Amino acid sequence: MSQKVLLNATEINIALHRLACQLIENHDSFQNTVLIGIQPRGIFLAERLKKILESDYKIANIKLGYLDITFYRDDFRRSDKPLEANTTKIDFVVENKKVVFIDDVLYTGRSIRSALTAIQSFGRPLEIELLTLIDRRFSRHLPIQPDYRGRQVDAINNEKVKVCWKENDGEDAVYLVER
Amino acid sequence: MSELSVNHLLGIKYITEDDIQLIFETADHFKEVINRSIKKVPSLRDITIANLFFENSTRTRLSFELAEKRLSADVINFSAASSSVKKGETLIDTVNNILSMKVDMVVMRHPNAGAGIFLSRHINASIVNAGDGAHEHPTQALLDCFSIREKLGDVAGKKVVIVGDILHSRVALSNIFALQKLGAKVKVCGPKTLIPKYINKLGVEVEGNLRKALEWCDVANMLRVQNERMDISYFPSTREYAQQFGLTKQLLNSLNKEIIVMHPGPINRGVEITSDVADSKQSIILDQVQNGVAIRMAVIYLLASKIKHHED
Residue A163, domain member (yes or no): no
Look at residue B238 in the predicted model and tell me its pLDDT.
Answer: 87
Residue A171, domain member (yes or no): no
CB contact under 8 A, A121 and B38: yes
pLDDT above 60 for B1: no
Chain B residues within an 8 Å CB radius of A84: 2
Chain B residues within an 8 Å CB radius of A82: 2-3, 305
pLDDT above 80 for B70: yes
Residue A5, domain member (yes or no): no
Residue A1, domain member (yes or no): no
The CATH number assigned to the domain holding A76 equals: 3.40.50.2020
* DSSP letter assigned to residue B114: T
**A87 in contact with B, Cβ within 8 Å:** yes
Which domain covers residue A67, as residue numbers?
10-26+33-155
pLDDT above 90 for B232: no
Just list the catalytic residues of B.
59-60, 87, 109, 137
Residue A69, domain member (yes or no): yes
pLDDT above 90 for B177: yes
Which residues, other chains included, contact B212 with Cβ-Cβ below 8 Å and sequence gap of 6+?
A: none
CATH class of B138-289: alpha beta
Closest partner CB to B2 (pick from A77, A84, A122) = A84
Residue A142, domain member (yes or no): yes
Q: Which of B87-91, B123-127, B166-170 has the lowest mean pLDDT?
A: B87-91
Q: Which of residues 244-263 of B touch A (CB under 8 A)?
A: none
Residue A167, domain member (yes or no): no
Q: What CATH topology corresponds to B12-136+292-304? A: Rossmann fold (3.40.50)
Residue A3, domain member (yes or no): no
Sheet holding B74-79, edge to edge: B74-79, B48-53, B105-110, B126-132
CB contact under 8 A, B308 and A122: no
Look at residue B155 in the predicted model and tell me its pLDDT.
Answer: 97
CB contact under 8 A, A77 and B38: no
Where are the domain boundaries for CATH 3.40.50.1370 in chain B?
Answer: 12-136+292-304, 138-289
Confidence of residue B207 (pLDDT cuts 50, 70, 90): very high
pLDDT above 80 for B125: yes
CB contact under 8 A, A120 and B37: no
Number of structural domains in chain A: 1
Look at residue B84 in the predicted model and tell me its pLDDT.
Answer: 62
pLDDT along chain A (179 residues), means of 10: 90 96 94 96 96 94 95 87 87 94 96 95 95 94 96 89 94 91
